[in-house]
């Protein structure tokens, strides 16, 4: 499974850093987290996208509320990932958009 944003071969995991907007991102485990975050969107075997967030450079990963989510189309992992990044940048207790 890929763990980067390279363009060779099928992408199964996308990882990017983002600064959360005011109100941060809502997680299932600890509620809202804020500040500099790392977001990982991973294609699951059932075809859905799992979204996890962490404080950048921390060890713990948290489930972004609303994850996992269906892909909008079979090649839609990038679309889900980019939509999640935009939502977190906007803040307001961002969840996986539906």
Please check the confidence at residue 74 and state whether its pLDDT lies above 90: no
Contact by Cβ (8 Å): 55, 36: yes
**Residues 6 or more apart whose Cβ sits within 8 Å of residue 6:** none
**Mean per-residue pLDDT, 66-88:** 96
**Mean per-residue pLDDT, 90-95:** 98
Examine residue 53 and say whether the peptide bond preceding it is cis (omega within 30 degrees of 0). Answer: no
Please check the confidence at residue 26 and state whether its pLDDT lies above 50: yes
Q: What per-residue confidence (pLDDT) applies to 7?
A: 47
Mean pLDDT for all residues in the chain? 91
Identify the three-state secondary structure at position 80.
helix
Please check the confidence at residue 15 and state whether its pLDDT lies above 80: yes
Identify the three-state secondary structure at position 25.
strand
Q: What per-residue confidence (pLDDT) applies to 1?
A: 29
Given pLDDT bands bounded at 50, 70 and 90, which one contains residue 10? Answer: low
Please check the confidence at residue 6 and state whether its pLDDT lies above 70: no
């Amino acid at each position: 499974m890929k763990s980067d944003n390279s363009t060779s071969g099928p992408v199964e995991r996308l990882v990017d850093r983002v600064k959360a907007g005011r109100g941060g991102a809502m997680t299932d485990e600890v509620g809202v987290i804020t500040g500099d975050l790392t977001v990982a969107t991973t294609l699951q075997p059932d075809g859905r996208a799992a979204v996890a967030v962490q404080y950048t450079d921390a060890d713990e990963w948290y489930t972004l509320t609303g994850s996992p989510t269906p892909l909008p189309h079979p090649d839609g992992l990038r679309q889900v990932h980019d939509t999640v990044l935009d939502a977190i940048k906007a803040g307001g207790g961002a969840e996986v958009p539906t």
